[in-house]
């Protein structure tokens, strides 16, 4: 049996008839190479925002069941257009809407989860030589109500379809693959041939905007191999990056990439050491206010009897975070700092290398870049530094960990 491939195209890749035709050409080329293709599409760029705007004018935003009904229309149109473009390219093709498989979801409107997917009709089409085009981002409840999967949900639709078909999941986007860092900052940035799901997740969480996190998590859990490719190059011109299980990353690099995120803020809370409920109360208040918290450090201060809790939040959330903390912890000693950025070094090899943290301090120290907060995970080290120092830090770390040679 020929390799099965699910090709996913996002909004910009189907943003106009010209773009749809080009994307269909990439699918056609893969089909001619002998790959058994299925396609998943987002709404045409701008459509989701346009439709969401209409529902908002009527007082309903994301999370309303009727908003989901309206939004799902966007992928309905693009799936039909992609099927027509594939037909124009010489293949048999047809669209499948979420309810037609069906794609069964649970969870709330506007942010549903895929609970299951019946691919029998879609597989029958493939077996009959028809390229199926699934409308992404949408499914239905057990009761037959329309649901959408939330922003970026089409990546998730593609990963789930690939899992159900035992296929590879090719995510076509506007970059040629995953890079060791942002080529706009470090021209020596190299494209990775392969990366593990875990590394991709950390890179995504640390600011790299290549893949949607939920789809990588899903792919990791189900063991779905992914590939990131450009839909803007001609067929065969995009080398792409494979996103695979750790054991399948041939090259045993220690560090795979350097990511960054600007406009961070740091909050420090100082409490007495007998106030053991401080972290719990603080994070409960922030969660209630729907503020994402990152890079948490708790330190016992030198002066006995006090404890410091530090963490970073996005700058735009700072005021809201301080207000929430003031309410939850009246009279707390709270300081904050803005104008910060986060740089992160990501790599599966970090697991075995405890000295990476020390060398990161050394590299940044040589550049006279002060580290405000340092946080580590299994395969990632992040440092909070001055916004102004981002470029220098990215370039220095990229060189120090040998990524210039990738």
Applying CB under 8 A, the residues found at the interface with a second copy are: 17, 20-21, 51, 54-55, 57-60, 64-67, 69-70, 72-74, 76-77, 79-81, 83-85, 87-88, 94-95, 97, 99-100, 144, 146
Residue 265 CB, nearest distance to a second copy (Å)? 36
Residue 62 CB, nearest distance to a second copy (Å)? 13
Residue 46 CB, nearest distance to a second copy (Å)? 13
Residue 107 CB, nearest distance to a second copy (Å)? 19
| 150 neighbors 112 (Cβ within 8 angstroms) | yes
Comparing CB distances to a second copy, the nearer of 16 and 300 is 16
Residue 59, C-beta contacts closer than 8 angstroms, at least 6 positions apart: none
Comparing CB distances to a second copy, the nearer of 55 and 206 is 55
Structure tokens at 42: 């987002």
Structure tokens at 379: 């395969």
Comparing CB distances to a second copy, the nearer of 54 and 287 is 54
Provide the 10 A C-beta neighbour count for residue 361.
15
| 173 neighbors 230 (Cβ within 8 angstroms) | yes
Cα atoms in the 13 Å half-sphere on the side-chain side of 302: 0
Residue 56 CB, nearest distance to a second copy (Å)? 10
Q: What is the DSSP letter of 225?
A: -
Closest CA to 315 of 265, 388, 268: 265
Task: Return the SS3 of 83.
Answer: helix
Closest CA to 221 of 174, 156, 268: 156
Question: Cα torsion for 51, 102, 81, 218, to the nearest 10°?
Answer: 80
Residue 186 CB, nearest distance to a second copy (Å)? 40
Comparing CB distances to a second copy, the nearer of 60 and 399 is 60
Residue 40 CB, nearest distance to a second copy (Å)? 15
| 172 neighbors 8 (Cβ within 8 angstroms) | yes
Comparing CB distances to a second copy, the nearer of 144 and 187 is 144
Comparing CB distances to a second copy, the nearer of 47 and 186 is 47
Comparing CB distances to a second copy, the nearer of 51 and 158 is 51
Comparing CB distances to a second copy, the nearer of 61 and 402 is 61
Residue 290, C-beta contacts closer than 8 angstroms, at least 6 positions apart: none
Residue 132 CB, nearest distance to a second copy (Å)? 12
Beta bridge partners of 385: 341
Closest CA to 268 of 223, 321, 217: 321
Comparing CB distances to a second copy, the nearer of 28 and 267 is 28
Residue 310 CB, nearest distance to a second copy (Å)? 44
CA distances from 311 to 231, 337, 348 (A): 38, 11, 24
Structure tokens at 296: 């948490």
């Amino acid at each position: 049996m020929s390799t099965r491939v699910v090709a996913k195209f996002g909004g910009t890749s189907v943003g106009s008839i010209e773009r749809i035709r080009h994307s269909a050409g990439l699918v056609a080329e893969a089909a001619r190479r002998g790959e058994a293709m299925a396609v998943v599409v987002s709404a045409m760029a701008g459509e989701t925002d346009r439709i969401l705007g209409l529902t908002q004018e009527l007082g309903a935003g994301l999370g309303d069941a009727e908003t989901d009904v309206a939004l799902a229309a966007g992928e309905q149109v693009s799936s039909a257009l992609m099927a027509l473009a594939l037909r124009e390219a010489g293949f048999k093709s047809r669209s499948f809407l979420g309810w037609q498989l069906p794609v069964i979801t649970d969870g709330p409107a506007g942010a549903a989860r895929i609970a299951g997917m019946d691919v029998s009709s879609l597989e029958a089409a493939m077996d009959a030589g028809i390229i199926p085009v699934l409308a992404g981002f949408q499914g239905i409840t057990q009761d037959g109500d329309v649901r959408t999967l939330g922003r970026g949900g089409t990546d998730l639709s593609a990963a789930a379809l690939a899992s159900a078909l035992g296929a590879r999941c090719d995510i076509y986007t506007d970059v040629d693959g995953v890079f060791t860092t942002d080529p706009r900052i470090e021209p020596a940035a190299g494209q990775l041939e392969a990366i593990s799901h875990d590394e991709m997740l950390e890179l995504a969480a640390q600011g790299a905007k290549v893949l949607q996190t939920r789809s990588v998590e899903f792919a990791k859990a189900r063991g779905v191999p992914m590939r990131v490719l450009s839909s803007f190059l001609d067929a065969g011109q995009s080398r792409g990056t494979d996103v695979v299980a750790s054991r399948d990353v041939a090259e045993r690099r220690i560090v795979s990439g350097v990511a960054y995120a600007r406009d961070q803020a740091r909050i420090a809370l100082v409490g007495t050491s007998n106030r053991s409920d401080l972290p719990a109360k603080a994070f409960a208040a922030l969660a209630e206010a729907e503020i994402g918290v990152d890079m948490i450090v708790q330190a016992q201060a030198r002066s006995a009897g006090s404890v410091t809790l530090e963490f970073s939040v996005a700058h735009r959330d700072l005021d809201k975070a301080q207000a929430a903390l003031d309410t939850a912890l009246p009279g707390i000693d709270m300081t904050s700092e803005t104008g910060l950025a986060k740089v992160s070094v990501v790599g599966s090899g970090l697991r075995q290398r405890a000295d990476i943290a020390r060398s990161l301090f050394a590299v940044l120290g040589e550049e006279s870049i002060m580290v405000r907060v340092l946080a580590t995970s299994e395969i990632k080290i992040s440092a909070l530094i001055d916004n102004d120092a981002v470029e220098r830090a990215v370039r220095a770390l990229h060189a120090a960990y040998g990524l210039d040679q990738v």
